[in-house]
Amino acid sequence: MTSLEEFRNQMSITKSHIYFNHAGIGPISDSTLQLLENLSKSQRLGNQGIDWEPFMTWHGSVRKEISHLINCSSEEVALTNSTATGISHILSSMNWIDSKERGLILNDLEFSSNSFAYQQISKKFKIPLHIIQSIKEDGIEKLSLDDFRSKMETVPISLIGISHVQFQNGFRIDLEKLTKIAHEYDVKVLVDAMQSIGALNVDVKKLGVDFLATGGFKWCLGPLSTGFIYIKEKLLDSLEPVFVGPLSDKNPTEFLHRPFNSHDSALKFQYTFNFQASGLGEAIRLLNSVSIAKIETKIISLIEYAIEQFKNQISGIMIISPTGKEGSGILTIKFPEKVNLEETEKKLSKKHKIAISVRAGGLRFSPHAYNTEDEIDKVVSVIKNII
């Protein structure tokens, strides 16, 4: 077990910055950096430097760490390079020709990575794409489960694409309820988990998720160009991936042209070697050693503390992030109109070494479990002084 203090000690960023931008890009830990450095150095000597045996084992151990994090079997996990590649990979492996009549559901809050591939499938195979409109409750944007049900009630649907946590205000959909409703209509759910994996306890079995895709470089604290997908075991046979490579085959080191003999597991989706992924494995090993339940509890308590401090100390602000079950690691706050958000963000970054971002007409704060209440006090006080 790694304590939160030991976790913090692994994050060198804490020595120079207050880092509240995990919804943007996650910093990497010292141990992840070390591993990546060693790996990069090894290729200076070409195949004389790279030891393939441990590398192949690594691949397996990365998938094992991921399966531990999201409570599935490592046979249900494949490594990718980003959320968008994962989503495109899964969508392009589905049989759209025989399910032409059945549409897709997205919503108007989604990040582009979770929208463009659906649009392409819709265009290419002439599949109707339905966009659920978000609603506003007390100025906070949300999605209503009733709207998803009504859509499935009225038109034939095969798949819902949705983010577990929305990137602008951090709205967390009740995935357990959504997948239950979807399954009543024989509809599958593909989750973009980029803003929840590594911050919240994402238990794919409990949540009933069919497919999941994420990048590894935000809350997971993994290197850029990493990611993974999860595919529920009983759905593996129904998918025929187009993006395949030697690792997707049952005999990955048999290089001659021959009939492709696909893995039965999610390894059939393993289209490439991904060196960076070993860094993701190390990053997730660190999260697992702290425990994701503990990480979620700490992040949520930091968000609650931040809300209280901002409300008490700065007047005229409006919290546009949901809280409670609909909340997450993202806190977005609107400030009085006179506040120039871009300038504030720049000043915080350059002068005060505080990292946040501008989203949805407000400032977005996204602390991780290694951050502290003291850091929140400092950020609130600096913002109070500069706006």
Ligand X SMILES: Cc1ncc(COP(=O)(O)O)c(C=O)c1O
Residues that bind ligand X (CB under 6 A): 82-84, 111, 113-114, 163, 167, 192, 194-195, 215, 227
Phi-psi region of 231 (alpha: psi -120 to 50; beta: other; left: phi over 0): beta
Q: Sort 385 into a burial class: Cβ within 10 Å, 0-12 / 13-18 / 19+.
A: exposed
- Tell me whether residue 148 or residue 171 sits nearer to ligand X (CB atom): 171
CB of 24 to ligand X, least distance (A): 7
CB of 235 to ligand X, least distance (A): 22
CB of 276 to ligand X, least distance (A): 13
CB of 275 to ligand X, least distance (A): 18
CB of 113 to ligand X, least distance (A): 3
- Tell me whether residue 65 or residue 192 sits nearer to ligand X (CB atom): 192
Give me the sign of the Cα torsion angle 311, 316, 321, 323: positive
- Tell me whether residue 32 or residue 163 sits nearer to ligand X (CB atom): 163
- Tell me whether residue 10 or residue 329 sits nearer to ligand X (CB atom): 329
Beta-bridge partners for 125: none
- Tell me whether residue 204 or residue 317 sits nearer to ligand X (CB atom): 204
How far is the first Cα of the chain from the last one, in angstroms, to the nearest whole number?
A: 42
Distance in angstroms (rounded) separating the CA atoms of residues 300 and 373: 12
Query: DSSP letter string over 90-146?
Result: HHHTS--GGGTT-EEEEETT--GGGTHHHHHHHHHHT--EEEEPPEEETTEEE--HH
Cβ atoms of residues 230 and 72 within 8 Å: yes
CB of 278 to ligand X, least distance (A): 18
Angle at 237 between CA 220 and CA 165, to 5 degrees: 30
- Tell me whether residue 62 or residue 387 sits nearer to ligand X (CB atom): 62
